Structure 1
Amino acid sequence: MKISVSNEISSVCPTFVGACVEARVVNTLYNDRLWNAIHEVEQRLRQELTFDSVKALPSIAATRAVYKLCGKDPSRYRPASEQLIRRMLQGKELYQIDTLVDLVNLASIAYGYSIGGFDADKFVGDELVLGVGKEGEPYEGIGRGMLNIAGLPVYRDAQGGVGTPTSDNERTKITLGTTHLVVLINGYDGCEERVIANAQYIQNLLIDYAKSDGGTVTIYRG
């Protein structure tokens, strides 16, 4: 998959670095071993983080800053990583969807990056471009209905928006039948080393829980 970053994003976040993990996978409804790993991370983060400190995590703080620069209120449209960690701090478990979605969510709370997971066979064309949402641009968030993405960073394929740091699109969502996975890590903090570590973490999760060889990692920048 070819991924490029528009001038709209580069102008507000010139240090942006992203990683794309692309892999062949086998999805399942539930994986007990994976959920044991999720519970371990949840327990650790509940001891380390508070509601106030979550917003100060570099990966989340940088994403919130880009939202503001693009004209979006990050407290109303929270980045997905912040949503997940706040839910966890409330004493709730992560949502249990399926193994691929669950492991992407684990990778997001473990590193604090907003991460999009997609069924790559549902993309239109072979290129994704990271830009900024427009007023009136149609976008159906997963489980959220029509979402106002004006001012949100958004990946678009040849048909339109597929993913934002707040919510991915119903059109390209992961299902139990997904066999071709693309995962996008959004490093608005510009920390390439940590973004790569997050990508390698996802590869290991795919090997352990999704009958994958881990696939490939591609780094892209603003």
Structure 2
Amino acid sequence: METYIQKDLYDRIPDFKAGMITYQGIEVGESPQMLKGRLQLFQESIFFDLMEKELSDFAGIKEWRAVFKAAGTDPSRYRPSAEALYRRIKKQNYLSSVHSAIDLNNFFSLQYEVPIGIYDSSRIQGDVSIRIGVQGDEYIGLNGRNNSMENMIISSDGLGPFGSPFVDSERTKVTFTTKEAFQIIYLRPSISRSEADKLTKSLMDMFVSIHGGEGQYRII
């Protein structure tokens, strides 16, 4: 699988970066108590922070709102997924455990204030490009709705779009039967290359320690 960023996205966001991780031989299951506990405690910590701060005080959320706007997406109507998680926590609507892969995704998304998507590799066909959606790009999302992805940042394969820093699709979701996965960290454009490398490797190492198997990563 080749992965790349299309020119239309670079034209609007010249410093756009993404961390790409592929996993083989993994076992997705119930989250270990360590992960459940850390996720719960971190959400409680964020809730207390939000009693004294505005969402715009969080650098990652502020930057990703600017990224959406530059891409042509209204960030007040379509929230970056990390911001949506923070808004849930602000209402004390804490995230419950889904399974080990999703829980780890959510933990790192909250920690680094960036959208992160994880996808079942067996449901991806052909190469993957990250681009700006055009008319007709749409999918059934994990939010249960048919989402138009026009003028939004999307990840797309040979069958069309399957992921976005807004919401991911049902088609490529990770389940308990997933053995191979593909993860995209939609990094903050302002992050340095060395910090992007460190963040991506840290997530990969934690994922493999919980799920077994092997992982490889790169920054594009």
**How many Å separate the matches in 1 of 2:89 and 2:27?**
27
Task: Measure how far apart 1:32 and its partner are.
Answer: 2.0
**How many Å separate the matches in 1 of 2:6 and 2:208?**
32
- How does 1:68-217 map onto structure 2 within 5 Å? 68-125=69-126, 127-191=127-191, 192-213=193-214, 215-217=215-217
SS state at 1:108 partner = helix
Task: Measure how far apart 1:193 and its partner are.
Answer: 3.7
Q: Structure 1 vs Structure 2: percent identity of aligned residues?
A: 23
SS state at 1:34 partner = helix
Once the two structures are overlaid, the 10-residue window that deviates more, 155-164 or 23-32, is 23-32
**How many Å separate the matches in 2 of 1:19 and 1:168?**
16
Kindly indicate whether the alpha-carbon contact (under 8 Å) linking 1:51 and 1:86 is maintained by their aligned counterparts in 2: no
**How many Å separate the matches in 2 of 1:6 and 1:149?**
16
Cα distance per residue 1:10-53 (max 9 Å; x no partner)? 01111111111111211003432210121232233233345963
Q: Amino acid of the residue matched to residue 106 of structure 1?
A: F
Cα distance per residue 1:107-141 (max 9 Å; x no partner)? 1001011011001111011x211111112323111
Distance change (3 Å), C-alpha of 1:30 and 1:187: closer
SS state at 2:154 partner = strand
**How many Å separate the matches in 2 of 1:87 and 1:201?**
26
SS state at 2:175 partner = coil
Q: Which residue number in structure 1 is paired with residue 14 of structure 2?
A: 14
Kindly indicate whether the alpha-carbon contact (under 8 Å) linking 2:13 and 2:70 is maintained by their aligned counterparts in 1: no
Kindly indicate whether the alpha-carbon contact (under 8 Å) linking 1:139 and 1:146 is maintained by their aligned counterparts in 2: yes
Cα distance per residue 1:37-91 (max 9 Å; x no partner)? 2123223323334596333433322222222223221111101111112212222
Q: Amino acid of the residue matched to residue 58 of structure 1?
A: A
**How many Å separate the matches in 2 of 1:197 and 1:54?**
25
**How many Å separate the matches in 1 of 2:153 and 2:53?**
24
Any gaps of 5 or more consecutive residues in structure 1?
A: none
- How many equivalent pairs are there? 218
Kindly indicate whether the alpha-carbon contact (under 8 Å) linking 1:23 and 1:181 is maintained by their aligned counterparts in 2: yes
Kindly indicate whether the alpha-carbon contact (under 8 Å) linking 1:128 and 1:157 is maintained by their aligned counterparts in 2: yes
How much is the aligned-residue C-alpha RMSD, in angstroms?
A: 1.9
Cα distance per residue 1:140-199 (max 9 Å; x no partner)? 111332002111100110110011101111111101101111110112423034433331
Kindly indicate whether the alpha-carbon contact (under 8 Å) linking 1:51 and 1:89 is maintained by their aligned counterparts in 2: no
Once the two structures are overlaid, the 10-residue window that deviates more, 8-17 or 54-63, is 54-63
- How does 1:38-53 map onto structure 2 within 5 Å? 38-49=39-50, 53=54
TM-score by length of 2: 0.90
**How many Å separate the matches in 2 of 1:194 and 1:170?**
31
Distance change (3 Å), C-alpha of 1:33 and 1:22: same
TM-score by length of 1: 0.90
Kindly indicate whether the alpha-carbon contact (under 8 Å) linking 1:185 and 1:195 is maintained by their aligned counterparts in 2: no
SS state at 1:117 partner = strand
Q: Amino acid of the residue matched to residue 32 of structure 2?
A: N
Distance change (3 Å), C-alpha of 1:77 and 1:21: same
